[in-house]
């Protein structure tokens, strides 16, 4: 029986200090933050390198997004390895592989097609070691501490993306694109060494009798056939994909509205800033049941401000709308615990890999779809259309995830 002085099970509100006190999570958290900074540096620098070599905006855009879509195939074909191989070796190997790829791009002058192929091949393995890392986080943190751990990862991810973009511009200007790629390789190497030295040797899950590809396909099919897991994945995928489509039009919107040079960068920074603030406030101030109750309102908040772009607002209003939209991203915190509870114990690594790879893939598809709409209705109308799609997604989620009592 729970006394009045004790929070009910599942109602305990953890703290960020409590989460960061867990050594295994702390190691994975900091290496992830550094690797995301390296990712942003590598992706933007590789795009610059391709553009400088070809002068083609299309190839530059392909270089920017070439690492996204292959992740879904990697998750479907190799995802079971996240549960079948020792996590320390897997995560270390993942960082070492990305280090080798960045170093190869920096040192060897390959044809553009070969360079794109290298990035695509490496991205096939990304869901595997990311899934292993997420599985370790789920095993290291319990209850609300796990949700706050995901919140910290979101905050670190947004901050690392911003710092990586800023670092990328500065390093490319100072050293050139190839040396900037070498800098990203050094960051990946540091992550690999830290995990290899500091993470204890842990046992993998049961390997099973079937091969890795067959087990991966069977595991992915089992996850996606389960209605609860499938719905929770779609709830985490769709709003982010639609907003990514809107985000992909910010540069064009700023150009059409004749904003002063450089303002597009300010607008693009508003979404991650809103995400940082939203995750920090929702994660730190609200109790677990309240976060879960606010899932649908926060998704609506992600989409509804974008409807304002139909009126083609100026810089100040656009910035406020994007900040509000970014704040709504905190809805994901209310889905973390239900998603973890819905997963089979033996397939968590693959499930986290599939969740991440599906999100990355749809974030690559979203800008293409919304950009196509912009050709007919203009950038402001297309951004508003993306916001309307997010609002409709919130209405769909309300049909199966109704608000629950916070008591």
Are 189 and 237 within one domain?
no
Domain check: are 376 and 291 in the same one? Answer: yes
CATH at residue 346: 1.20.1250.20
Whether the model pTM is above 0.85: no
Please give the pLDDT value at position 6: 41
Joined together, the tokens standing for residue 104 give 């190869």
In the prediction, which pLDDT does 344 show? 85
345 alpha carbon, distance to own chain's centre: 23
* Residues 166, 236 within the same domain: no
Residue 174 lies in a domain: yes
- The per-residue pLDDT for 216 is 84
User: 390: which 2 tokens?
Assistant: 């997010």
Q: Are residues 156 and 296 in the same domain?
A: no
Is residue 3 domain-resident? no
Tell me: do 163 and 45 sit in the same domain.
yes
Is residue 69 exposed (0-12), middle (13-18) or buried (19+ Cβ within 10 Å)? middle
pLDDT at 61: 62
Asked if 336 and 371 sit in the same domain, the reply is yes
Q: Are 70 and 202 part of one and the same domain? A: yes
Q: Residue 81 falls within a domain, yes or no?
A: yes
Q: What is the pLDDT along the chain (407 residues), one digit of tens a residue?
A: 344 344 444 556 778 888 889 999 999 999 998 998 888 888 878 877 887 788 775 676 677 677 777 888 888 888 888 888 888 999 999 999 999 999 999 999 889 889 989 998 998 888 888 888 888 988 888 888 888 888 888 777 777 767 776 776 677 778 888 888 999 999 999 999 999 999 988 766 655 556 778 888 888 888 888 899 999 999 999 999 999 888 878 878 888 888 887 787 788 788 888 988 998 899 888 888 899 999 999 999 999 999 999 999 999 999 999 999 999 999 999 999 999 999 887 788 889 889 988 888 888 788 878 888 888 898 899 999 999 999 999 999 999 877 654 43
* Domain count across the chain: 2
What b-and-e string marks burial along 260-278, b requiring 16 or more CB atoms within 10 Å of the CB? eeebbebbbbbbbbbbbbb
Q: Is 299 exposed, middle or buried (0-12, 13-18, 19+ CB in 10 A)?
A: buried
Rounded to whole angstroms, the Cα distance separating 141 from 149 reads: 8
Give the pLDDT confidence score for residue 172 in this predicted structure.
75
Contacts of 330 (CB under 8 A, 6+ apart): 275, 278, 279, 281, 282, 283, 298
Domain identity same for 267 and 132: no
Please report whether residue 211 resides in a domain: no
Residue-number span of the structural domain to which 377 is assigned: 226-400
Query: Which one of 150, 176, 206 terminates a domain?
Result: 206
Q: How far apart are CA 78 and CA 100, in angstroms?
A: 20
Domain boundary among 172, 206, 240: 206
Q: Tokens standing for 240? A: 């982010």
Asked if residue 8 is part of any domain, the answer here is: no
pLDDT of residue 156: 79
Both 186 and 241 in a single domain?
no
* Residue 150 within any structural domain of the chain: yes
**Residue 289 forms part of a structural domain:** yes
Dist CA 192 CA 202 (whole Å): 16
């Amino acid at each position: 029986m729970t006394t009045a002085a004790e929070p009910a099970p599942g109602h305990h509100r953890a703290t960020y200090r409590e989460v960061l006190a867990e050594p295994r999570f702390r190691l994975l958290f900091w290496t992830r933050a550094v690797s995301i900074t390296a990712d942003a540096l590598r992706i933007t620098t590789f795009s610059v390198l391709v553009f400088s070599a070809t002068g083609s905006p299309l190839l530059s855009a392909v270089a920017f997004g070439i690492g996204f879509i292959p992740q879904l195939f990697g998750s479907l074909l190799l995802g079971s390895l996240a549960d079948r191989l020792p996590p320390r070796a897997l995560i270390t190997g993942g960082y070492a592989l990305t280090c080798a790829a960045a170093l190869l791009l920096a040192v060897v002058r390959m044809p553009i097609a070969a360079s794109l192929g290298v990035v695509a091949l490496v991205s096939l393995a990304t869901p595997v070691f990311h899934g292993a890392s997420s599985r370790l986080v789920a095993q290291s943190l319990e209850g609300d501490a796990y949700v706050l751990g995901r919140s910290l990862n979101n905050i670190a991810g947004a901050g690392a993306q911003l710092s990586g973009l800023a670092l990328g511009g500065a390093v490319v200007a100072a050293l050139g694109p190839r040396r900037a790629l070498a800098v990203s390789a050094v960051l990946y190497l540091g992550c690999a060494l830290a995990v290899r030295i500091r993470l204890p040797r842990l046992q993998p899950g049961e390997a099973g009798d079937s091969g890795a590809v067959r087990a991966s396909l069977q595991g992915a099919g089992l996850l996606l056939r389960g209605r609860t897991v499938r719905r929770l994945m779609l709830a985490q995928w769709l709003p982010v994909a639609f907003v990514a489509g809107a985000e992909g039009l910010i540069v064009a919107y700023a150009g059409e509205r004749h904003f002063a040079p450089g303002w597009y960068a300010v607008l693009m920074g508003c979404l991650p800033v809103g995400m940082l603030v939203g995750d920090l406030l929702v994660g730190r101030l609200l109790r677990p049941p309240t976060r879960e109750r606010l899932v649908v309102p926060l998704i609506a908040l992600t989409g509804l401000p974008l409807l304002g772009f139909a009126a083609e607002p100026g810089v100040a209003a656009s910035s406020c709308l994007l900040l509000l939209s970014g704040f709504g991203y905190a809805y994901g915190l209310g889905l973390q615990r239900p998603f973890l509870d819905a997963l089979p114990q033996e397939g968590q690594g693959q499930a986290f890999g599939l969740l991440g790879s599906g999100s990355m893939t749809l974030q690559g598809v979203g800008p293409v779809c919304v950009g196509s709409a912009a050709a007919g209705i203009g950038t402001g109308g297309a951004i508003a259309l993306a916001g309307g799609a997010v609002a409709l997604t919130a209405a769909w989620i309300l049909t199966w995830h109704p608000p629950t009592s916070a008591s």
